[in-house]
Structures are given as C-alpha cells and as structure tokens.
Amino acid sequence: MPYQVSTAFNSLMNNFVNLDADETRSGRRSRDWLVDEQLTSFPDKDDKFPLLSSTPKMWFGSFSRRTKIRELDDIDMMIVMHAEGSTYTQIGNTFFISPGANSRFQNYLNDTNEWVNSRRIVNKFVSCLKSVPQYAAADSKRQGEAATLNLKSYTWNFDIVPAFITKSDSYGNSFYLIPDGNGNWKQTDPRIDKDRATAVNQKHSGKVLNVIRLVKYWKRKRGVPAIGSYLLETIMLNHYDALAKDSMSEYLDVEFSDALQALASAIVGYVGDQKNFQGDINNLSSEEQEKVREMALEDANNAKEALSIEFDDPEKSGKIWQKVLGKDFPVGDA
C-alpha cells in the first residue's frame, strides 16, 4: 500500500501519543481501589488521621482532563477532608486555617499553635500510605504540596493532595484549599479546568484534546525547555476557545501547524490562570519564552512545508514530519 501521511499520523497517535486504552482502564481501577478500599479507611484505623468529607474524591490533572500522553506516569487526586468546624483567613494569596475545637486538626498545628500546618497533614498521609498493600515507596513532593505513592504492581505513581472545600457563598460558589508548599494553603478549583477543557473540546466536535496531546508530545520529543503542561494546555484552550465553533480543520496535521503558530504568539505574553486565582501563570524567563517561540515557529514552518508536498511527494513529507515529531513518526521507503 502506498505511503500516506494521514496513515502515519494515525499510527503515531495510536501507538505513541494517546494513552493505551487498557492502561487507562487499569489506571482508573487502581485509582478507585486506592481511594475506596484504602484511603477512606485511614480515619477509622488511626484516630489522628483527618476525617474525610462525605464526598472525598476529586480527580484532577491531565489524566482527569484526558490530555495525558504516553506513558502513564502519574495519576493526580485530591482527597477532601471534613473541616470539623475549621475556618480560614485569607491574606493576599495565602490562606491560613484555624482548626475547629476538639477537631483532629489540633494534631497538626504550626509552631505557634494557631494554624493547621499543611506539611504536617501531607506527612501524615505519607506515613499512612506506607500501610497500603503492595506499597513500594511513599514520600512528599513539591516541597510538601502532595504525598506521592508508588505501588509495586503499577508503573505509575499516585500524587495525593489533601484538600478542604469551602462552604458555598451566597452565589453558590465554592473552591478548594490545598497545601502551598510553605505550610499554609492556597486556592484552587480543578472543576473549572476540567469543565473548560470539556467545553472547548465539544465546541470543536471533540478535536481539541487530540491537538493538545500532540503538542505535548512535540514538546517532549523536541526538548522544548521549561514550559509546563498546565501552561501549555491553557494556551491551547485559549486559542481554540477564541475560534468560531467547528472552525478547526478536519486534519490533525493541518491543525498542528496552526497550534504551533498559536503557541509561538502566546508564549511571549501574559497567560492568565483560567480559574482567576493566580493571575499570570507564564513564569518563564524572557530567554525561555523566546526559545519556545523560536522552536514553535521553526516547526510550524516545517509543518507547512510538509503539508505543501504531502500529496506530490508523501515520502519526503513524512521525513519532514519525522524531523518535527521524532523518530517514531513512520516514514516511507523512498
């Protein structure tokens, strides 16, 4: 059968970019087992472990948003604790939590015995996770923002973030408080991220997430410096949210070139947190921004060249695509 670039793209996406379907199902089952069969039993087994909310599970991260690429290496989850009458005080972007009277959070106070220390909560999660069957390793990460667990039976880690959810205000709005890495707490709401990714993807008939995954794959294969997954996703969602409904190309290779152009333009400017909690999330230095811009523009132009000869010389087009997307992109014999 003659070489076709479209077939090569399908092969790349199915075999190297998108998560394997069986692995995805296994990841979800293992996540559910860890929470439903293990974590939710901790408060009964240990009278100092924080009590949990009646709805303790909140999935977040790229696995939850369906923007994760191979190989599956981590699964993120928030475990929502029962506040037990605790209250928060906000100073700037930092939240301080005062423990409820006689609550279990009295066991996790800071050095002044005034506020709940988030690092001590994370450390308690870590110590209890070591009792999980098939435990291989448990530790804290990101300066005490999360507990991470590795099980012998899986190739991926679980990143487990203790959290509170606030009471709804008069408008029905609530948000989550999670460890900030400094012993205090910060504001977040993964529901907003997930809902926006879903809405923008549906706006373009389910084609957006595939492009995001391919751009992530490009970033990894080309060694694009510094740009984080969340920043990259936000830029892509901003781009596609601004387009008219169903205005994306039907062809992934065409859309990929446009996506790199959009990345090149956006990476050198302000990128607002879509939750409106953090302000500008583009923390790259000017040198890093310029490097990302240059690489995105270079490969956008390479992609356009490959597109221009796709039907006249598909083998040469495939070789250009391999230069852009790495050695796993299938090429013809010519």
Question: What are the pLDDT digits (tens) for 155-177?
Answer: 899 999 999 999 998 889 999 99
Quick one: DSSP state of residue 96?
Answer: E
Identify the pLDDT of residue 91.
96
pLDDT at 197: 97
The total of structural domains in the chain comes to 2
* C-alpha–C-alpha distance, residues 28 and 167, integer Å: 29
Q: 54 and 144: one domain?
A: yes
Query: Which of these, 116, 78, 80, 79, lies nearest to 96 by C-alpha position?
Result: 116
Q: Which residues contact 289 (CB under 8 A, 6 or more apart)?
A: 267, 268, 282
β strands within 99-167, DSSP E: 135-141, 146-151, 157-165
- Angle CA(82)–CA(83)–CA(89) in degrees, nearest 5? 150
Say yes or no: 71 and 98 in one domain. Answer: yes
List the chain residues with pLDDT less than 70: 333-334
Residues 88 and 211 in one domain: no
Residue 88 lies in a domain: yes
- End-to-end CA distance of the chain, in Å? 14
272 secondary structure, DSSP code: B
Instruction: Give the CATH number, domain containing residue 284.
Output: 1.10.1410
**Domain final position from 134, 166, 187:** 187
pLDDT value, residue 51: 98
Taking the model in full, what pTM does it have?
0.92
Q: At 293, phi and psi to the nearest 5? A: -60, -45
Mark whether 255 and 129 lie in a shared domain.
no
Predicted local distance difference test score (pLDDT) of residue 224: 87
Domain residues for 298?
193-325
Question: What pLDDT, on a 0 to 100 scale, did the predictor assign at position 108?
Answer: 97
Are 162 and 301 members of one domain? Answer: no
Q: Give per-residue pLDDT as tens, 207-229.
A: 999 999 999 999 999 988 778 99
Are 51 and 145 in the same domain? yes
Q: Are 90 and 257 in contact (CB under 8 A)?
A: no
Burial grade of 285 (CB within 10 A; 0-12, 13-18, 19 or more): exposed
Quote the pLDDT of residue 153. 87
Q: Which two tokens stand for residue 72?
A: 């599956």
